[in-house]
Structure 1
């Protein structure tokens, strides 16, 4: 199985604000107009924000599905988590950089942990930063030009006197944010397709396995069990990813055995336009499903190295069932759904 991985333009806004109702005195508010159609967007985006900002997940308020919020990719096409999620990631990363500048640290040696700001490791100064810090005679215009080229701020790492990490282990994030106007700090993250999308063909991959039983007299088909193994980069949440794969495999059962749109040959109208006559799998049609999430790291996809997985589980699932039917009775059917009339005439005696 293979499913092309795409990145769509997406934005998100992240705010840290003092909130005395929370145990740590602070909360994060994440806003994007991405929707959650049952695929776990609320959960995985909250996880991303909580991880980057060092907060318990109940200190993150996720706001989705409102067109007044920063525009994101929307749900569909297996690109939601990667696209909108990257917007959330970059917004939170920008907050980390702003906090680092505030307390005199650098993005690579600030640690946010359970509502505390700590220093971790030592930052290796670039030549440009070293020159700025030591007061060497770099022309201001040269430094400004380099700053614009790299996108780095060179002015913020002169540590404020009130934050001395050599003598204090940590500072409360709530106290630092309280020093900002209105006791909050906001950043926006934005992502869009770049050079990697043109230079690298990207996809999620998988393999589907199905066991079926075919009644030797009537030709009735029963799927006995299915297993799917799927690789989709970094998995943000194993439970929600596995659930999406279950759904994809059930889609495969429907595609292989029962789903069919029937048009009136005279006027083209849909003859089976409701769930009474357009058949989809029900519990009795679905056997034990097993999902294996294969570890993979793909650095060319997006900042989080994640890829879509929901539709990857659909790709190939119906074909695995068709192959299993062929293995059972020796009848090769190329036209879905595989119904009794397509089997009986070719069934062995």
Structure 2
């Protein structure tokens, strides 16, 4: 088990401690946040990132808000939590886990029907703890579900970062690689650097080093060369939202990687907790794509790499069409095309399990 923790509730301080992902690999730094406004800023500024980690962070954000309220009145605290909910929902638009986790918090607390301030605050903390525990269990289940398709000697291409720091622990796509490694498979990973924020080069490589997993960083544009000249068994990526037709929103560059994989006959798998499936989203065409500051492209670590005044278009995500995806690996197993049928069946089955 790695020594670092991506997310930790500090009971004595009624605060949330986050691993600052903007500092890796140069520094292992934590930030302690006791205001919901600071938690929302940490999500926006990518101090914490990765759809599952964002969701659990937002969940704890509601607990922080309950303790941030100075009044002893339950009604005032509930109003403060409702305001916090709105702030957190606005922090990043593309990842469905953010709103899903907040909805889960409200539903789980409501089921407990707390009638006092003490009970209400405790219910919020307990619900956030439960989501954190479930995230680890889900990630492990995704990894074990994938073992059936991972050969004894497996070479992967991975995009962005989907590991233990993008979740509570283990990770989604990177969790598949980690569990294959722990199961004794001989694993090697080609790690897309993932411009413009270099989540692959900075974060995935760092995590793989901590886990002792063989890997090499490649520039995003090298994936075609690697697939043509190396024996790549599969691409595995995570996602921030799955539409009901199987279209997937993920870090910018995922679509390109899927096209290259299709051209070279390399299977392209998406790791997706069921919470990432959006039943309100019929196709990827309706997914809101976050645009981020121009400086992410024009600068690297504060050093300008583009002409002054150059115009920039910086979408943070793209949508990979369902026809490019070989399978979606969930905690309930792997589903295959036609996704408009198999996703609906999976989603309905999961809802029935939780009734």
TM-score (norm 2): 0.25
Structure scoring higher RCO (CA < 8 A, sep ≥ 6) equals: 1
Which of the two has greater helix per residue? 2
TM-score (norm 1): 0.26
